[in-house]
Amino acid sequence: MNERLRYLLGEAVNSLRNQNSLAAELFLNQAFNIDPNCVDVLRLMGVLEAQRKDYDKALALFRRAFKNAPKNALLASNIGNVYLEQKHFKKALEFYEKAILLDRTYAEAYSNKGNALQELNRYSEAIAVYEQAIQLDPMDVKAYVNKGNAYLEGGQLESAIQSYDDAIRLQPDHYLAYWHKSLALLLSGNLDDGFLLYESRWGKGEEFEFSGVRRGFTQTLWLGTESLQGKTILIYCEQGLGDALHFARYVELVAQLGAKVILEAPKSLADVFGGLSGVSQIITKGAEIPEFDFYCPLMSLPLVFKTNLQSIPSKPTYFKADSKKVEKWLEKLGPKTRPRIGITWSSASNFKNDAKRSMQLSEFLKALPEVGYDYICLQKEIKEGDKATLETHENIHFFGEDLQGFGDTAALIECVDLVISTCTSVPHLSASLGKETWVLLSFIPDWRWLLDREDSPWYPSVKLFRQDQLNDWDGVLARVKANLEERLK
């Protein structure tokens, strides 16, 4: 390799590390002009395209390089990484195994293989592979965290927490380890320690997957220390719609401390939040914010109020539907001839693990008796794969764009006798309205539903139907159907 090419590759590597894609592209184009078949040039060009999330280009470049260097374990792993990003998990696994065959000491390839196995729900195999990675590289903090995640998804909470602790011992400022440990603690019912560690969600680093943003206000962040008597506090929603609905119950407790509460909420929730007790002013996200003295993210309030299983602020209802909207929906639905059930089977969310909590309508229908009920779809959006199924079932009423916001959804919920839903935002709305709500849960659910119980300490009107085995919706759907048929007797 000539000196000029070596220099350009070095500069390209530095630019890629600094996420400076324009500079990296400039150096790599010059290097490509010198030697278009150089494996290192092609590989780094693939890395650049992967950073830009142009995975097809990245894959083509990596494959071209691998053809020139078929014994290069790093390239095999690079190809696996692209397939992993594209959610082609079996193909990713294939190339990670190739990388390991080419280099039995390649710790990162073992760790990547564990990631692919985990995505394929092969958790015990993933754990074994992560342990191999750790034996090769005992300082690989990410491998400990990922092993913890595999334990967690397999239902082994104590082992998961131990793995997160191992990561924290190696790197005490590793926010991702604290974040996942908080979720495991919360799921186990240890809310005291869980909510304390939940503050790690504001972690730093490009690999931290939490989507929330701590706002850069100059006012004081309030976490329960200062008196709020006669003060104004801004509380803002920071995560998903279901999270906002769930934790809105705390706003009243803040107001009882003598504060004027300004609540910033997503536009779709503004109507619902308007009647929330304790709120002095609702503003929608993006609107100009009035003057305030303190601020607090909504999901820090459980920590502020020292929430544990015995002190959860649970009451039958804390939202109310607009009575005029309820009348509109009753008129739209027409005369009631049989019990009405509101249904939600999937989310429109881009949440990473959405596939574990959502299902197709054709599958969800197994839970619904064909006669005896009218079914009211509470989803505004229907995934493409469900549209044909929906069109062939006249007893499922779908309103689509008529549901202009959660205010409409709340009013429609008031018109049904029961809501049955997977883990979306809808059961949070339904239960906070006091409506009887059945929630269908995956084997390891979102932390707020805890484990091994049919009720929820957060919502008195909720009944939980859990998977007994990983990915076994059939058992859940059969129990739901049996309960519905029993109601008809």
pLDDT, tens digit, 9 for 90 and up, residues 9-46: 999 999 999 989 999 999 999 999 999 999 999 999 99
pLDDT, tens digit, 9 for 90 and up, residues 45-100: 999 999 999 999 999 999 999 999 999 999 999 999 999 999 999 999 999 999 99
Choose among 276, 421, 436: nearest CA to 358. 421
Q: State yes or no: pLDDT of 320 exceeds 70.
A: yes
Across 209-220, average pLDDT: 72
pLDDT, tens digit, 9 for 90 and up, residues 122-154: 999 999 999 999 999 999 999 999 999 999 999
Give me the pLDDT at residue 348, please: 72
HEC sequence for the chain:
CCHHHHHHHHHHHHHHHCCCHHHHHHHHHHHHHHCCCCHHHHHHHHHHHHHCCCHHHHHHHHHHHHHHCCCCHHHHHHHHHHHHHCCCHHHHHHHHHHHHHHCCCCHHHHHHHHHHHHHCCCHHHHHHHHHHHHHHCCCCHHHHHHHHHHHHHCCCHHHHHHHHHHHHHHCCCCHHHHHHHHHHHHHHCCHHHHHHHHHHHHCCCCCCCCCCCCCCCCCEECCCCCCCCCCEEEEECCCCHHHHHHHHHHHHHHHCCCCEEEEEECHHHHHHHCCCCCCCEEEECCCCCCCCCEEEEHHHHHHHCCCCCCCCCCCCCCCCCCHHHHHHHHHHHCCCCCCEEEEECCCCCCCCCHHHHCCCHHHHHHHCCCCCCEEEECCCCCCHHHHHHHHCCCCEECCHHHCCCHHHHHHHHCCCCEEEEECCCHHHHHHHCCCCEEEEECCCCCHHHCCCCCCCCCCCCEEEEECCCCCCHHHHHHHHHHHHHHHCC
Q: Which two tokens stand for residue 357?
A: 């909590």
Across 447-462, average pLDDT: 97
The gap between the terminal CA atoms of the chain, to the nearest Å, is 82
Which pTM value belongs to this model? 0.92
Give the model's confidence band at 172: pLDDT under 50 very low, under 70 low, under 90 confident, else very high. very high
* Residue 395 or residue 356, greater confidence: 395
Question: What is the spatial distance between Cα 56 and Cα 118, in angstroms, rounded to a whole number?
Answer: 23
Give me the pLDDT at residue 168, please: 96
Give me the pLDDT at residue 355, please: 73
Please give the mean pLDDT across all residues of the chain.
94
Give me the pLDDT at residue 333, please: 96
Amino acid identity at 23: A
User: What dotted CATH number matches 220-304?
Assistant: 3.40.50
Give me the pLDDT at residue 296, please: 95
Q: State yes or no: pLDDT of 445 exceeds 80.
A: yes
Give the model's confidence band at 206: pLDDT under 50 very low, under 70 low, under 90 confident, else very high. very low
Same fold yes or no, 220-304 and 323-487: yes
Q: State yes or no: pLDDT of 104 exceeds 90.
A: yes
Could you tell me the residue ranges of all domains in the chain? 3-202, 220-304, 323-487
pLDDT, tens digit, 9 for 90 and up, residues 248-295: 999 999 999 999 999 999 999 999 998 899 999 999 988 999 999 999
Q: Does domain 323-487 have CATH number 3.40.190.80?
A: no
Q: Which CATH architecture has domain 3-202?
A: Alpha Horseshoe (1.25)
